[in-house]
Amino acid sequence: MPLVPSKDPQLVLLRHGETEWSASGQHTGRTDLPLTAAGEEQARTAGHALSDITFAVVYASPLERARRTAALAGHADPVVDPDLAEWDYGPVDGRSSADVTTLLGRDFQIFDDGVRVLPPDPEHGGGRPGELLEDVAARARRFVERADTTLQEGGNVLAVAHGHLLRVLATAWLGVDPRYGARLELGTAAICQLGYGHDLRTIEGWNLPPHV
């Protein structure tokens, strides 16, 4: 069932569909994996859910899984925005939280620990140290301000990107600590609606499954 358009402009978020690593719980940062067949179907379903909403502009991460999701959802020519790329996990890329917990010998929480708890590793993240959460939050804030310009002009905005990036983006929208993103679960191809209420930025819908 398509979502009912809001009478007020919204920033709509769409996480990419399933990939092999999202299905297995491995962190997928800059590793550019394709969607699985199930992920492609999720993206088409999300497109149906969003079909009644007119977007003034559609943005997508430069990574293939996000651009493919946008295309299958009916937006084949999005504005590719590097600020929407997933958190560069560096040495955590390709590892699950359980893997990192084992390596550290203690519980691992990415929003608290970050990704630099492990040394750079050529086999994970290409030897890069990875981004600090504060760097991801700075990118998210830049995007929010760009999107807000369109929203203030009365147009809806769609952003197709990644799980952790979009969770941090929601904290940037609300103006809260980016570590609050740990509390915002987000499934593959899930839809979120950010808007305004009583002159405040609000979350109007979160982690809505694509078959809404």
Q: Which residues are catalytic?
A: 16, 86
How far apart CA 15 and CA 206 sit, in angstroms, is 11
Burial class (CB in 10 A: 0-12, 13-18, 19+), 140: buried
Instruction: Give the number of other Cβ atoms within 10 Å of residue 66's Cβ.
Output: 30
* Beta-strand runs (E) in the chain: 11-15, 55-60, 79-80, 156-161, 191-197, 200-208
Which H/E stretch holds residue 48?
helix 37-49
Strand partners, 58: 158
The Cα–Cα gap between 212 and 206 comes to 12
Cα-trace Rg, the chain: 17
Whether 144 contacts 196, CB under 8 Å: no
Q: Is 203 helix (H, G, I), strand (E, B) or coil?
A: strand
> Nearest-CA neighbor of 54 among 112, 115, 4?
4
